Amino acid sequence: MDYYKHSGGKRDTGSKRDTGARGETLAAAWLEARGYCIIERNWRYRRNEIDIIASRANRLHIIEVKTRTTPYFGLPEEHITHDKMNGLKHAAIAYQAQSKRWVYLQFDVLSICMYPQQPVEYYLIEDVFF
């Protein structure tokens, strides 16, 4: 089903926000089950937001979570723009400046697919270089 035909061509931002929030909740639980300690969720610096700040093995992880409920528009990780990554970098520098104990910093992307009648799929892209 084509999303724009089905929705009359309008984006349902409330539903999009709900999907993002649900994805971030699933992401936090998934990461904790794999040994990450969640430090912050939705941490803001100016106009930038870091979805999850976590630690594992003496390293600070800045994690962007992308969630999709349909495959029609591509994979979740394909929707991270250069501007978004730049904003994450600035926010991470600000966070690291206020919490000086972190020497090692890593950027990760956690892609979550929540397609109807299928198990949730997680794909962690570690140490994203940009």
Q: Identify the CATH number of the domain defined by range 3-125.
A: 3.40.1350.10
Query: For 19-61, what is each residue's pLDDT tens digit?
Result: 888 999 999 999 999 999 999 999 999 999 999 999 999 999 9
Listed by start position, the domains of the chain span 3-125
pLDDT of the residue at 2: 34
Characterize the bridge pairing of strands 59-68 and 105-113.
parallel
Angle at the Cα of 81 (from 111 to 105), degrees rounded to 5? Answer: 65
Distances in whole angstroms, Cα of residue 60 to Cα of each of 11, 34, 84: 35, 15, 19
**Residues 79-122: pLDDT tens digits?**
888 899 999 999 999 999 998 888 899 999 999 999 999 999 99
pLDDT of residue 78: 84
Residues with Cβ within 8 Å of residue 82, at least 6 apart in sequence:
130
Q: What is the pLDDT of residues 79-89, one digit of tens each?
A: 888 899 999 99
